[in-house]
Amino acid sequence: MNHFDYRDGVMHAEDVALPAIAEAVGTPVYVYSTATFRRHAQVFRDALKPAGRVHLAYAIKANPNVAVLRVLADEGYGADVVSAGEMQRALAAGIPASDIVFSGVGKTRGELAQALDAGIGQFNLELEEEGEVLAALAHARGERAPAVLRVNPDVDAGTHAKISTGRKENKFGVAIDQAVAMFDRLSKHDGLDLRGVAIHIGSQLADLAPLEAAYARIGELVAELRAAGHRISRVDLGGGLGVPYKPGDVLPSPADYGAMVARATADWDVELMFEPGRVIAGNAGVLLTEVIWVKPGVVNPYVIVDAAMNDLARVAMYDAYHDFVAVAPTGERMMANIAGPVCETGDTFAMGRDIDAVKSGDLGVFRTAGAYGATMASTYNSRALVPEVLVDGDRFAVVADRIHPETILAAERVPEWLKR
């Protein structure tokens, strides 16, 4: 459920008409709904009530805007971060360091030290050497770093190859059959407080079966680790729950997921950690765009919009589907391709799609753009970096400025020897 609805024929974000935002801020622009973020945060939390002791760490990479993080901090969410930059954002948003989980396959030694200085709550180790380095850094400070070992359970999550992370050939986690021996060795370091294990098998999961299979393997691993004499107090089950992108898409609900988790983990007796990203942010945002031209095509016309692959990369990167609707539909339909202005054929959002009829100057939105949208934006083709707006009831604020090409240009320079 989300709060982007038509009122009197015009799409609103909560109580704000989208044309008012386009007028004030220009297009393209991401528009987020506070009420939708809050609702998703609450639904996900409620869904996990049957699972017992639970800690929720929002996966910041889905949407790291500091205002969004503030809303989720208000809802009691911690943060899952994958870089020192994300950690700084979480701290800036008021998320306590102890509620921050540091994931990521390539944490640098500098980032590990920064995170120790900040006192973050959990390091998710990706390889043995990382554990050794972290232990040494912590020991030198007279501390023990709280950590879990990320395991690769070797299951096929059944999602797009580029967002699948839990097969043995993927770069993430340590092979599950080596986990006990590695845990043994790492647990001997004074500088580590090794509390358990973590997994995250992929994103936009449309089926609970691979997750359930992975959780079953983790359950066996927990039993093996305990049999080997280890105290296991935490298991981090990652994120990955999918969201509907296409009208008619049916996905497992958070409640289905919570029931499965409760079933799969019933006898684990641990604190469960979760790292939801997309399921919190996906439907809480749209990308608002203006039609520049409707260009006749050979088969269908091209609707050329002012948003492009540099603003919303998911279509070019993952062959993703984003629903496109007019902000003020007339009731007429057209068969069209939708593309942006970037000089790449990949800058095409849809081919041969039945959409609301639009013409130059009309506004439209790409729906379900709240996750992995603005955060992946670039300035390719020397386009501006896309701004973000947060709506709350009948008010809205720009929460990330449009960064213009001249600002980017100002950070570049011609070296002395090329000056004339």
Rounded Cα distance, 298 and 334, in Å: 15
Number of shown-chain residues binding ligand PLP (CB under 6 A): 16
Among 64, 196, 276, 329, binds ligand PLP (CB under 6 A): 276
Decide: helix, strand or coil at residue 2: coil
Among 278, 314, 322, 383, binds ligand PLP (CB under 6 A): 278
61: left (phi over 0), alpha (psi -120 to 50) or beta: alpha
Q: How many CB atoms lie within 10 A of CB 91?
A: 17
Handedness of CA 14, 349, 402, 87 (dihedral sign): positive
Smaller CB distance to ligand PLP: residue 148 or 355? 148
Catalytic residue among 1, 299, 343, 410: 343
Smaller CB distance to ligand PLP: residue 146 or 238? 238
Question: Does 234 contact ligand PLP by CB under 6 A?
Answer: no
Q: Report 68-97 residues binding ligand PLP (CB under 6 A).
A: 80
Question: Does 252 contact ligand PLP by CB under 6 A?
Answer: no
**343 counts as catalytic:** yes
Contact 89, 64 (CB under 8 A): yes
Among 40, 107, 200, 322, binds ligand PLP (CB under 6 A): 200
**263: phi then psi, degrees, rounded to nearest 5:** -65, -50
Provide the β-strand partners of residue 12. Answer: 5, 17
Among 28, 240, 329, 364, binds ligand PLP (CB under 6 A): 240
Nearest to 88 by CA among 108, 66, 57, 112: 66
User: Residues of 289-315 as b/e, b for ≥16 C-beta within 10 angstroms?
Assistant: bbbeebeeeeebbbbbbbbbbbbbbbb
- Interface characters, 19-58, with ligand PLP (x: CB under 6 A): ----------------------------------------
| Interface region with ligand PLP, contact rule CB under 6 A, candidates 40-48, 68-76, 236-244, 338-346 | 236-244
Provide the β-strand partners of residue 29. Answer: 288
Question: Does 62 contact ligand PLP by CB under 6 A?
Answer: yes
Among 121, 191, 238, 364, binds ligand PLP (CB under 6 A): 238
Question: Does 201 contact ligand PLP by CB under 6 A?
Answer: no
- Nearest approach, Cβ of 40 to ligand PLP (angstroms)? 11
84-92 vs 109-118: helix crossing angle, rounded to 10: 20
Among 25, 59, 151, 342, binds ligand PLP (CB under 6 A): 59
- Nearest approach, Cβ of 236 to ligand PLP (angstroms)? 8
Contact 135, 145 (CB under 8 A): yes
Supply the residues annotated as catalytic: 343
Binding interface with ligand PLP (CB under 6 A): 59, 61-62, 80, 103, 200, 203, 238-241, 275-279
